[in-house]
Structure 1
Amino acid sequence: MRLISRLLAAGAVAAAAVLAHATGVTGGGTDAPAVAPVADAAPGYAVEDFNYPQADKILAEQGFLLKRGDGHIVLATCGSEPDLLEVWARSKEKVCFRFTGNKGYLSLELPSVYGIKGNDYNTDVTMTVENEEKSFKVDKNSWTPVGESADPEGREHMLVEIIASK
């Protein structure tokens, strides 16, 4: 029993010494040195906000806005690879997107869209015209009239959402 008491006492003294060393507090009655919290010096947590990377640069250079997505539908150079989704717009001619994974989502603002050439994915697009939302199912590997070419009044439509799945 005496051995256990000595071990406990020695452990308490060691713990106090470690605490005093770590905090700079000793029993000498002097002021303790200033201690800064470690968390202030450490980098913050990375939190994914799903905003499209370099969206401002793309808007400035190409004239349309890529807003948010899950990273599975990305802007691509037209003709750079097979199986791209081609979006045709009077405002920009042709804009292409590459799909990765089994499904994807992208919100954007691409004005004056009138046609989309599908790829191997099941693709649905949402467009706005005036105060209405309209949805179109894009045919696989062929042309689909959307927006103003599918509107009896020929109104200008803005592409605002692409949803794809295998």
Structure 2
Amino acid sequence: MKARTAYTAKPQRNRFIGRTLGAAAVAGALAWLTLAGGISGGHGAKAEAVTPVAGEAPGYAVEDFNYPQADKILAEKNIVLKRGDGHITLADCASGTGLLEVMARDKDEKICFKVVGDSGWLTMEIPAVFAVRGNDYATQVDMTVGTEEKSFDIAKNTWTSVGESADEQGRDHMLVEIRTSK
């Protein structure tokens, strides 16, 4: 009798395994068709094409520190602004107080810069600079005359002679960098 029980249990187990595998295969095929767009949730309509989200999203922004709209500023104001960290920006001198002010012999008006944050830097080319008025920041300017480089510390909230007005020979100096810190 034991042999007969074992004999009848094997076909039942094989049928159970076969049905389970068959159901799993059907479920897998339905899942594949749904993902591939063959079935649209049982509504009888065809599924819409899948588009990658990354194709519609904006690309990555990589900071190159170039001054924005430098070409426009050069054309309108004849000032070369090169690179910076965004904490020192060109400003309208009438826009308020607390600005860095630069006087150049070749310019009819002052050139002003707004400073924000704990520190900042900006590279540029402004020829014939002779004075800089500081603000509440500790400020240093780098200038060139020929191949020689000079740095000047700018007094807070007062005018400081730089360039040709601070040079014994009265040579034209080009402002090439401003650095600030709180």
Asked if these proteins are the same fold (TM beyond 0.5), I'd say: yes
Name the TM-score class by shorter chain: 0.7 to 0.9
Equivalent residue in structure 2 for 1:95, among 111, 115, 118: 111
Q: What is the number of residues matched between the two proteins?
A: 154
The structure whose residues are more often helix, as a share, is: 2
The equivalent of 1:124 in structure 2 is 140
SS in 2 for 1:59: helix
Q: How far off its partner does 1:79 sit?
A: 3.1
Q: How far off its partner does 1:95 sit?
A: 0.4
The equivalent of 1:55 in structure 2 is 70
Q: TM-score, normalised by structure 2?
A: 0.73
Supply the distance in 1 between the matched residues of 2:79 and 2:175 (Cα, whole angstroms): 10
Supply the distance in 1 between the matched residues of 2:27 and 2:171 (Cα, whole angstroms): 81
Change (3 A) 1:4 1:51: farther
Q: How far off its partner does 1:16 sit?
A: 2.8
Q: How far off its partner does 1:134 sit?
A: 0.9
The structure whose residues are more often strand, as a share, is: 1
The equivalent of 1:143 in structure 2 is 159
Change (3 A) 1:78 1:6: same
SS in 1 for 2:179: strand
Change (3 A) 1:97 1:15: same
Identical aligned residues as a percent: 59
Supply the distance in 1 between the matched residues of 2:126 and 2:20 (Cα, whole angstroms): 76
Change (3 A) 1:11 1:47: farther
The equivalent of 1:73 in structure 2 is 88
Where structure 1 has 5 or more consecutive residues not aligned to the other structure, the ranges are 23-35
Q: How far off its partner does 1:117 sit?
A: 0.7
Where structure 2 has 5 or more consecutive residues not aligned to the other structure, the ranges are 1-15, 39-50
Change (3 A) 1:158 1:15: farther
Q: TM-score, normalised by structure 1?
A: 0.80
SS in 1 for 2:67: coil
Which letter does structure 1 place at the counterpart of 2:171? Answer: R
Q: How far off its partner does 1:70 sit?
A: 1.1
Change (3 A) 1:136 1:15: farther
The equivalent of 1:157 in structure 2 is 173
Q: How far off its partner does 1:88 sit?
A: 0.6
The equivalent of 1:85 in structure 2 is 100
Larger radius of gyration: 2
Which letter does structure 2 place at the counterpart of 1:73? Answer: I
SS in 2 for 1:46: coil
